[in-house]
Amino acid sequence: MRYVDEFRDPKKASILVEDIHRLVQHVPQARNRPLQLMEFCGGHTHTIFKYGIEQMLPESVELVHGPGCPVCVLPMGRVDDCVAIAECPGVIFTTFGDAMRVPGSRKSLLQAKATGADVRMVYSPLDALAIARDNPDREVVFFGLGFETTMPATALTILAAERQRVANFSVFCNHITTLPTIKAILDSSDMELDGFLGPGHVSMVIGTHPYHFIAGHYHKPVVIAGFEPLDILQSLWMLLKQLAERRCVVENQYARIVPEAGNIQALDAIQQVFEIREYFEWRGLGSIDHSGVRIRDCFAGYDAERRFAVPNLSIADPKACQCGEVLKGVIKPWECKVFGRACTPETPLGSLMVSSEGACAAYFNYGKISAEIPAATEEVF
């Protein structure tokens, strides 16, 4: 297949859905309880809700929405740090758009902008570097966040800033890592997972090898999945086939994009600029060992945490917010007490309602889809 509409073909989807319904009958675990399959990536969550994929699946297959949305797991204290930097005199604070509305304990970046801070949305860290070149009398800070998908762009921008001798540019680094987080989920007593849909864009950078510990040590099958509805359905079929055959391996459904060894140039840039933190705090999940990166000492001049005094406090979420339980898959978005009432995309209490990849926002926008098989397949594609 070469065109996007081919990955949304309702006839092909119907065939996959029928096969999934047949295949699950041969999975031993599904005879006693629903299978728990986690999609780690927020992009997968968005596709699942948008196309009504959950409604197409057998009742014995339950999708668990994981913490793979970097905006959603940003703790309140780090948002407060962003606001503190943005409100410093002479600072231009640059960020991706979906981070502007994440609530801190006092305000969001968007609210800081409304009260006078110079906060600007950019599409790339290179945009922030260009702003720094154009404003040599101002300090320009880029809010670096995201998993391994966005790390290379930040790393290459820091290397470019050093090469071009742009001294008024720095990065507030909040990049996080995928594998320690998956390990923390697997080690959690709250979870009983049967398999994973591996994140496609992260895997494009890191490759397929790093996931082998999930299959080898934890005996859970993994399928690295693409982002179109047929990608998701085929990946679920592949997971169920492994479970039916009692296999636990790492398979790559997204082979058209994900190379086995990853992107060597991107990995080299990450290694050159960043080092692993001892721990990093996640909203709703607490501190996870080795789950974030920081800028190496040799690039300290481009590290906003060293250039600015930031509060660096740990702030608890509002008591009514249950983002942590949703992120771990313990509850579904609509089971949160404030979902759709006190917490909406217009007035978010929790970060899962801010980003389009957040499970709460995705369900709020698309979760009313419900139809029977096979009519659902025709309707939502």
Q: Is residue 377 part of a domain?
A: no
In angstroms, rounded to a whole number, what is the distance separating the alpha carbons of residues 65 and 63? 6
Same domain flag for 6 and 116: yes
SS3 92: strand
Same domain flag for 354 and 229: no
**Judging by DSSP bridges, how do beta strands 286-289 and 35-41 pair with one another?**
unpaired
Amino acid, res. 357: E
- Helices then strands, each counted (H, E), the chain: 16, 13
Same domain flag for 99 and 45: yes
Ranges of residues in the chain whose predicted pLDDT is under 50: 369-380
Q: Is residue 376 part of a domain?
A: no
| pLDDT score recorded for residue 372 | 37
The residue segments making up the domain with residue 118 are 1-317
Same domain flag for 135 and 121: yes
In angstroms, rounded to a whole number, what is the distance separating the alpha carbons of residues 123 and 372? 40
Same domain flag for 210 and 263: yes
| pLDDT score recorded for residue 2 | 74
Tens digit of pLDDT for each residue in 147-172?
A: 999 999 999 999 999 999 999 999 99
SS3 276: strand
Same domain flag for 309 and 362: no
296, burial (CB in 10 Å: exposed 0-12, middle 13-18, buried 19+): middle
Same domain flag for 206 and 337: no
Q: Is residue 308 part of a domain?
A: yes
| pLDDT score recorded for residue 370 | 39
Helix, strand, coil % (nearest 5) of the chain? 45, 20, 40
Instruction: Report the domain count for the chain.
Output: 2
Q: List Cα–Cα distances, 98 to 138, 145, 157, 354, in angstroms.
A: 24, 11, 20, 7
Q: Is residue 264 part of a domain?
A: yes
| pLDDT score recorded for residue 369 | 41
| pLDDT score recorded for residue 368 | 57
Q: Among residues 296, 333, 313, which one has the least CA distance to residue 48?
A: 333
Same domain flag for 240 and 308: yes
| pLDDT score recorded for residue 381 | 52
Q: What are phi and psi of 40, to 5 degrees?
A: -75, -35
